[in-house]
Amino acid sequence: MNTKDRLASIWEGSNPPGFSPLEQNITTQVCVVGGGIAGVSAAYQLAKRGFKVTLIEAFQLASGQTDRTTAHLTTQLEEQFLELVKMHGKESTRLFHEAHRSAIQTIETICETENISCDFKRLNGYLFRGENFSEKNLLEEKKAAHECGIELDFVAETPLLREGISSLKFENQAQFNPIKYISGLVRVLGDLGVSIFEGTHIRHLNNTQSDLTTLTTDNGFEIKANYVVVATDTPISTRFSIHSKQFAYRTYAVAFQVSQSPMEEVLLWDTEDPYHYVRFVGDTLVVGGADHRTGQSPEKDPFYEIEDWTRQNFSFVGDVCWKWSGQVFEPADQLPYIGKNPGLESNIFIITGASGVGMTTGTFGSLLISDLIEGKENPYASLFDPNRAPMHGVGEYMMENVNVAFQYKDWITPSQVKRREDIPEDSGSLLRDGLSKSCVYHAQGENFETKSAVCPHLGGIVHWNDIEKTWDCPCHGSRFNTEGKVIEGPSLSNLLEP
């Protein structure tokens, strides 16, 4: 199913139905851009409320980060409660937790109401101590959660782990197959009259203050919409504002055959940074982690690091059967950006900054956006407002943007190889020609793909990602395939000819 990255995920084979590209000009009430869980959920919620909805996807439905997730449905947030309370206070932290809890309930209700079979299952989750955490730290985390009205149980022995590893128990969490869920929603969208187009890439949004926004596709067709919902992992509707407040990370997952049935099927996360996350999918154990900034090479092989950690902690795992990577966008203050697009227009909305909890964020984001379009009050609107300043988490904001600025040094670095023939087959390198830089992919034999190495978004120099065989921008996370075609924003454009 995946048409972007080289490695297939464990969800391959659960493909949603296919749709044709847009081949004419159209007008609609709402145009949803992005066919992952956020976009499909938004289309569903809005169509249920009586709007005429058009859903467009540049590649295939669910072929982006929804296909790369491990699909934990959890109220265990990316940042620990202690830190969230320091940044945002107890009430905002409680609301943030409540938003994820309500998203799990929403998914369960939709599955029941719409008769969607997607392996949805309620189960317990455990945040267990990593090497960076003492039992005292864990109890302080429990106390911080309690002060926000969130009750967690302290557990001296965590299920599945070796003896002596304590944790905090999160009851009534869940897991599902995200692609089966999307497929079920897409079936319902057809019954609701939603128009769906795949292979339809937006190259331009005409952001005006008029009642209609015009979206222009690569093929020159126009979509005129009263409202636009941009659900593309990172927004393509803004050039600067959001991209200086959130930062792209690669994350990795490995699936292992299980040699014996577990005594208890659970969700697990540890306290390390980057943290590990664990779940079962049938007769496999899926473990994720080893995150690092996009376009910046990790110190160790991420898959080896995850496999080594897994075999140290779980005695029942066998051979590796799947491995893949994904991309997440981390907001500086740990809260997603959901609401009106920063700018003068009032009819463009975004869902972004989901961190590693995209399944729940995309779900409650779809409810929030639908309320905003209808003009209804929503308790989370101000909390997730994309126009908020990064007052909380300002240290992270400054540190990450210093990192971004440092990446522009690649404008003056030398070639990585002396000549393109030195590049191994199925690999890529940067070559300098005077003041310009090219990215060169060696396909096979004498076949080379050469493009400008300058990211069209804000001029960063792309780096070769040898795991997924893509060119990734280390500044704001835009990604391109070996032919230079953009596969992930914020860039709207392909890499240029050298």
User: For the chain, how many residues are written?
Assistant: 498
Note the pLDDT of residue 401.
45
283 vs 247: CA distance, rounded Å: 34
Contact 9, 253 (CB under 8 A): yes
pLDDT greater than 50 at residue 1: no
Q: Kindly compute the dihedral angle of the four CA atoms of residues 331, 91, 361, 110, in this order, to the nearest 10 degrees.
A: 180
| Average pLDDT over every residue of 289-300 | 90
- Structure confidence at residue 489 (pLDDT): 84
Q: What is the pLDDT of residues 228-268, one digit of tens each?
A: 999 998 888 776 678 878 889 999 999 999 987 766 899 99
Q: What is the pLDDT of residue 465?
A: 95
Share of the chain above pLDDT 90, in %: 72
The neighbouring-strand residues paired with 249 are: 293, 328
CA distances from 396 to 329, 384, 390, 403, 493 (A): 13, 18, 9, 11, 29
8 Å CB contact between 341 and 369:
no
Look over the chain and give the mean of its residue pLDDT values, rounded to a whole number.
90
Mean local confidence (pLDDT), 49-56: 98
The pLDDT of residue 458 is 83
Structure tokens at 297: 């090479």
Average pLDDT over residues 168-179: 97
Q: Give which of 351, 409, 447, 334 is closest to 88, Cα–Cα.
A: 334
Based on the domain organization, do 125 and 272 belong to the same domain? yes
Do 308 and 422 fall within a single domain?
no
Question: Three-class SS of residue 127?
Answer: strand
For residue 139, being part of any structural domain is answered with yes
- For residues 19 and 329, give the distance between their C-alpha atoms in angstroms, rounded to a whole number: 28
Report the C-alpha gap between 279 and 286 in whole angstroms. 5
Indicate the residue among 280, 311, 331 that finishes a domain: 331
Separation between Cα atoms, residue 210 and residue 247, nearest integer Å: 32
Q: Let me know whether 154 and 251 are in one domain.
A: yes
Question: 133 and 276: one domain?
Answer: yes
Mean pLDDT in residue range 176-188 = 97
pLDDT of residue 281: 94
Q: Which residues contact 435 (CB under 8 A, 6 or more apart)?
A: none
Confidence of residue 158 (pLDDT cuts 50, 70, 90): very high
pLDDT score, position 391: 55
Query: Residue 41's pLDDT band (boundaries 50, 70, 90)?
Result: very high
Give the pLDDT of residue 397.
41
User: CA 40, CA 192: separation in Å to the nearest integer?
Assistant: 13
Number of domains in the chain: 2
Domain hosting residue 466, numbered range? 412-488
For 390-429, the pLDDT digits (tens) are 655 454 544 544 454 445 556 567 777 888 898 999 999 9
CATH of the domain at 162: 3.30.9.10
Domain boundary, last residue among 309, 331, 353: 331
Question: How far apart are alpha carbons 230 and 178 in whole angstroms?
Answer: 20
Residue 351: pLDDT over 90 = yes
Q: Give per-residue pLDDT as tens, 357-366.
A: 999 999 999 9
pLDDT (average), residues 273-294: 94
**Is there a single domain that holds both residue 152 and residue 250?**
yes
The answer on 312 and 165 residing in a single domain is yes
Q: Verify that 126 and 259 share a domain, yes or no.
A: yes
Q: Which among 108, 122, 18 is positioned nearest to 63, based on CA atoms?
A: 18
Lowest-confidence pick of 119-133, 178-192, 232-246 = 232-246
Q: Per mean pLDDT, which range of 16-20, 209-213, 494-498 is the poorest?
A: 209-213
Lowest mean pLDDT, pick from 34-48, 154-168, 357-371, 402-416: 402-416
Q: Which tokens is 263 given?
A: 């005594």
133 part of a folded domain? yes
> For residues 64 and 35, what is the distance between their CA atoms, to the nearest angstrom?
8
- Within-domain flag for 452: yes
Q: How confident is the model at residue 3 (pLDDT cuts 50, 70, 90)?
A: low
Instruction: Kindly report the CATH number assigned to the domain that includes residue 458.
Output: 2.102.10.10
